[in-house]
Structure 1
Amino acid sequence: MTILLSKKAITRTQAIIVIVIILIAAIATGVYFALISRPQTPTKNEIVIGCSLSLSGANSAQATNQLNAYKLWVDQVNEKGGLFVREYGTRLPIRLVVYDDAGDATTAVKLYGKLITEDKVDVLLGPYSSAVFFAVSTVAEKYHMPIIGPTAASNDIYTRGYNYTFIGQQTVSNWADAVVSYINSKSDLQKIAIAASSFRVAMMMASFVKEGIEGIDRELIFYEEYPTGTQDLTALVQKMKDNNPDAVISLGTLADNVLFVRTCKELNVNPKFFYIAVGYDAPQLLDTLGETAEGLCGMITFHVKLPYPGLEEFVEKYKSKYGLLPPSECADAYATCQIYQAAIESANSLNPESIKEALLQLDIMTIKGRFKYGEVNGARWINIYQVTYVGQVQNGTVELIWPRAYATSEEIYPKPPWR
């Protein structure tokens, strides 16, 4: 049977086919553009974290300690598969890039530029010392990269109005507040003597201590500065002895302080309160001075017996890995890594601006206590909960004696005779 379609029917059929084809094309086009415009999860295989450290030179021992703490944290994170970054929808392992700046600020500036522009790091860790950090923080500021200084305590670093420079420990002014408040608790400590070497941080601390002593109405009967590395302090110490101080404060490098203490012992200068900073909690101090250190007090920014969450585990793992108890620079470095980890996880991103904003919002507990960034007396960004302690050598061990709420032992006061 033959079916004959009219011209009108054929035209209608063709029109329907054309309409269907157009609809299919429109739907396909819509699906295509929907797919290509949908946000795609970016891909990334690792988090690259970088720094330079004084792995050679005068500060190599302390810088190596700092690096050891960085490595311990990286290992612990990577054992768990890395940090989860929601931006990438997965855990990312950490790769640590480290250069040796030999303690030279100019070298460190070049290396941090390389870390940012060539190594393309996601996160910057700070170098060792205030002097080097002061220089490299300018590089971080230029490239809008957050940077935390674990061992950079100088106040002048944080009074420049920088937006990307964060502290990782207590400020020098806070160090000074601790010893001044201790002196203020003793009514019989009226006559104060200060000897300060030209070491940058020592000079800054001396300035804050002098200001604090004046504020509590005590008499500064002796103040003298000397070049760091001086080999003979006999004349200075004899002059100080002639003023018969109740309290003696020695500010300098570890070597400066060792020489000062030995000279005081030789000349039988034995005040009621004998305080030294910095390097007081360094193992080398007790090893070098031995029994001479008994009763000496000094500046402490960290102690293994402090009651902070995770501290005991950190101490055990550090000792297991490196064979010794962690000194303060290790705790500073590890706490800095804890802060970064919290910021990255809070930001859900590795974007520097997002990390910076997350840092400013953090309020967390670290192995060094509570940490929250803010502005204090013109300094930014520092920990508004910072606490510095006064320690005392008792039976060959450094114990905390101030503030009393954190004391691990009763103080021995006045200082016992030299051994």
Structure 2
Amino acid sequence: MLPRSWIHRWSAPLLVVVAALGAGTGCKSRSSQAEKKELRIGATLPLTGAESRIGGFYKEGYDLAFEEVNRQGGLQVGDRKLPVTLVLLDDTSTQATAVSLADRLVNSDKVDFLLGTYASHLVEAQSTVAEQNKMPYVNGGGGATDIYKRGYKYVFGLLAPVELLGNTLMQFVDEQEKAGKLPRPSRIALVWENTAHGKDFRRGVQDFVNGAKGGYEIVVDESFELSGKDFGALLGKVKASNADLFLADAHLPDYITMQRQYVSAGLCNKVISYGARGSEKGAVDALGQENVNGILSAVWWSAQLAAKGGPAKAFVDAFKAKYAGRAPEWYQALGYETARALFTAIQQAGSTDREAVRSKLAALQMDSILPGGKLSFAAEHGQQAYYPFVVQQNMPDGTSPIVFPPVVATGQGIVPNPRCAR
């Protein structure tokens, strides 16, 4: 269950270089901080391949964060301001490339610090390079707890654990069951990608079910491989199970493919969720509004949090100003806040020394756009951020209001799904 303190808070690859404003001739020497003319921060993202859509979203968040700093003359480091340059490489959505490019950034390009890539399996592999080179590595794209159970000192993650995502979804569902809107026990079809991310989602749901004293029964428990093309056999098992709840964990491409086949197969469950996926504009465009209505998603951030003011509102306003009025999704928000966390630690260190910055990241306590309003990397969670998720639901009018937790809800959840109510 959500800790009580959280509720209180509510009250060869393509090379892209983001030019630093006023960087001058800053590449002469990096032998000492006094000689630095700029900060070079390296990163890879999946700009092509299976995760390219999301990689592009993270790039938008990075770009905004770097632009804001450079507009102010650079990052304050001690008594100097240093422009910041993002050296961004395309890891093509593959582990081997993500690893080799991280090594290149550290040992050939001589960047000062690293921002991480997107997708847990890529972050897990790539972060090993940072640890081996004692290079602070801040990522907003890896939510699997396995990444943070290795005792690494230089790896910091902004995505709260995926186990908590599954647990949060079940808390919303449990409220509906207790209100008599779902049968007791409710039957669950649980399907999950065969990755650390998927296994964490499964564990979060299972742990909740095990503690619910007979309120739920898992009738399907099946994994699938990433980048699938045909989920027919899996969905056939879901259909035959007569489940009340269809809970899937999937990355965006698999969500789109699976939901298209789900609709074609005539499936309809009283509750349907694809974990963190559901409200993305790209999915609505691909599937049609009528085919995504009712889907629940538990996400790390929502633009609706801007209604509370503070850093979230400032970020949404800045993003819309830069990107022609388009509202950000959680992907851009996490990219932006990842860069901002690293910038904050460098400023607090007053130095570009890796150990000094690593120490400040480990002790970080900053106001944040994230749910709960604070960001830290607690040692007890392996330097993985820990904060509440918000649950959204797609509505026929195209909106996706927050429906849980009640303290930040912007709309009322509809259960059972009206498409499927009998």
TM range (shorter): 0.7 to 0.9
Aligned to 1:248: 246
Q: Share of identical aligned residues, percent?
A: 28
In structure 2, distance between residues paired with 1:372 and 1:285: 32
Aligned to 1:387: 388
In structure 1, distance between residues paired with 2:235 and 2:53: 29
In structure 2, distance between residues paired with 1:41 and 1:383: 30
In structure 1, distance between residues paired with 2:122 and 2:257: 26
Tell me by how many angstroms 1:277 deviates. 2.3
Please, which of 191, 197, 201 is the counterpart of residue 187 of structure 2?
A: 191
**3-state SS of paired residue (1:181):** helix
Please, which of 319, 324, 327 is the counterpart of residue 325 of structure 1?
A: 327
**3-state SS of paired residue (2:291):** helix
Aligned to 1:81: 73
Tell me by how many angstroms 1:229 deviates. 4.1
Task: Specify whether residues 231 and 95 from structure 1 end up closer, same or farther in structure 2 by C-alpha distance, changes over 3 A only.
Answer: closer
**3-state SS of paired residue (1:350):** coil
TM-score (norm 1): 0.83
Q: Which runs of 5+ in 1 are unaligned?
A: 1-39
Aligned to 1:304: 303
**Counterpart contact for 1:250–1:260, Cα < 8 Å:** no
**Counterpart contact for 2:62–2:336, Cα < 8 Å:** yes
Tell me by how many angstroms 1:233 deviates. 3.6
**Counterpart contact for 1:198–1:252, Cα < 8 Å:** no
Tell me by how many angstroms 1:41 deviates. 8.2
What amino acid does structure 2 have at the position aligned with 1:322?
Y
**3-state SS of paired residue (1:70):** helix
Per-residue deviation, residues 287-326 of structure 1 (Å, max 9, x unmatched): 1222111111122111101136222232232233234322
Aligned to 1:178: 168
Aligned to 1:409: 411
Per-residue deviation, residues 48-86 of structure 1 (Å, max 9, x unmatched): 111112122111121111112111111111110001111
Per-residue deviation, residues 189-232 of structure 1 (Å, max 9, x unmatched): 52211122435523432233223322223211222233444444
Task: Specify whether residues 60 and 239 from structure 1 end up closer, same or farther in structure 2 by C-alpha distance, changes over 3 A only.
Answer: closer
What's the RMSD between the two structures over aligned residues?
A: 2.2
Q: Which runs of 5+ in 2 are unaligned?
A: 1-31
In structure 1, distance between residues paired with 2:96 and 2:227: 23
Aligned to 1:110: 100
Task: Specify whether residues 239 and 110 from structure 1 end up closer, same or farther in structure 2 by C-alpha distance, changes over 3 A only.
Answer: closer
Aligned to 1:287: 285
Tell me by how many angstroms 1:418 deviates. 5.8
In structure 2, distance between residues paired with 1:299 and 1:271: 18
Aligned to 1:124: 114
**3-state SS of paired residue (2:34):** coil
Aligned to 2:377: 373
What amino acid does structure 1 have at the position aligned with 2:60?
N
Aligned to 1:225: 223
What amino acid does structure 1 have at the position aligned with 2:337?
A
**Number of equivalent positions:** 375
Per-residue deviation, residues 137-190 of structure 1 (Å, max 9, x unmatched): 111111211111111111100000001110022121121221122223223352
Tell me by how many angstroms 1:409 deviates. 0.8
In structure 1, distance between residues paired with 2:322 and 2:233: 45
- Greater RCO (CA < 8 Å, at least 6 residues apart): 2
Aligned to 1:42: 34
**Counterpart contact for 1:48–1:96, Cα < 8 Å:** yes
Between structure 1 and structure 2, the one with the greater Rg is: 1
Aligned to 1:357: 359
**3-state SS of paired residue (1:408):** coil
In structure 2, distance between residues paired with 1:316 and 1:299: 23
Aligned to 1:23: none
What amino acid does structure 1 have at the position aligned with 2:235?
V
Task: Specify whether residues 46 and 317 from structure 1 end up closer, same or farther in structure 2 by C-alpha distance, changes over 3 A only.
Answer: same
Task: Specify whether residues 67 and 257 from structure 1 end up closer, same or farther in structure 2 by C-alpha distance, changes over 3 A only.
Answer: closer
**Counterpart contact for 2:47–2:56, Cα < 8 Å:** yes
Please, which of 137, 142, 148 is the counterpart of residue 152 of structure 1?
A: 142
In structure 2, distance between residues paired with 1:337 and 1:226: 33
Aligned to 2:23: none
In structure 1, distance between residues paired with 2:229 and 2:107: 44
What amino acid does structure 2 have at the position aligned with 1:374?
A
**3-state SS of paired residue (1:109):** helix
- Of 158-167 and 283-292, more deviation after overlay is shown by 283-292
TM-score (norm 2): 0.83
